Structure 1
Amino acid sequence: MKLASCLLLLVGFSVSLVGCGGASDAPVTYPVSGNVTLDGEPLTEGDIIFRDASGKAASAAGKIENGSYSLTATAGKKSVVITATKEIPGKTVVGGAPDEPPVPAVEQYLPAEYNEKTTLEADVSDSGSNEFSFELKSK
């Protein structure tokens, strides 16, 4: 009886060490937050992406709302992309299917140095606050 109990405990302990494998395979991420301003005013809305500078880790993205954002990202040096679009008055784009109505056309209104040709960087730490604020200028 003692041998059976010991074996049962050993099997239970082994299973708890192995687990399902899902959670232990996930990369470790850390909270990242901050503010984004454009010409001194909070950016009303947009998107922010933290891309791993080495290209080895997945990108992390979040929404900018009223000048603030929060997301989780892996530690390391990041290239930061910020985008914001606005409707082009009087212009529309044809929908994807023939029976879909046209939708308003939009354009990126932030300079390319913040998105397509970003010069923004951040270094996400595995310790510390990871608060990054970006002060953008419209040129």
Structure 2
Amino acid sequence: MKALTLFALLAAATSLGCSGNSGPQSFPVQGKVTYEGKPLSRGTIIFNPVNEALPASRGEIQADGTYKLSLAQKGDGAVPGEHRVIVNSSTQVKQGMEIDDPNYELPRPLVPIKYSSLSTTPLSQTVKAEANTIDIEL
């Protein structure tokens, strides 16, 4: 009898932990990143909430410049509120190229470095408690 009761309590506790939302509510965020009027073809975009207690969201910039932010799951978005935005984009290292190869080239930034640091980025955006389309022009 005691084993059955213990099993029932463990099952209930496990289902409570799995069924609840374990983090802050997020809302979809997508858009397009352009630099000098042209779509940025690669990189990462990060939305960092001004409220540092909240988690940041990130997305991969696609070849056409589009992105979708993810917080806990792919494409789930970002927490609502004001965010500082970081954009990282650089050239790609040639496939199979090793650093000791004489033809090796370090990746070069495709956008000004100021956009890649939280302390220097001039970019900020507000995520609303709804689906968001936020285009970023650099």
Common fold: TM-score over 0.5: yes
Give how far 1:94 is off: 3.5
Correspondence for 1:27 among 24, 29, 34: 24
Q: Which runs of 4+ in 1 moved over 4 A?
A: 101-104
Structure 1 residue ranges without an equivalent (≥5): 1-10, 96-100
Q: Which residue in the other structure is 1:81 paired with?
A: 86
Superposed displacement of residue 79, structure 1 = 0.4
The number of aligned residues is 115
- Listed as ranges, the gaps of 5+ residues in structure 2 are 1-7, 70-76
What is the aligned counterpart of 1:41 among 26, 38, 41? 38
Question: Which residue of structure 1 aligns with residue 132 of structure 2?
Answer: 130
Identity %: 26
Q: Deviations over 1:22-79 (max 9, x none)?
A: 6332221110001111111111111100001121111110001111001111111100
Listed as ranges, the matches of 1:2-13 within 5 Å are none
Coordinate RMSD, CA, aligned: 3.0
Q: Give the structure with higher Rg (CA).
A: 1
> Could you say which structure has the higher strand fraction?
1
The within-5 A match list for 1:65-80 is: 65=62, 66-71=64-69, 72-80=77-85
Alignment TM-score, normalising by the size of structure 2: 0.69
Shift of 1:87: 4.6
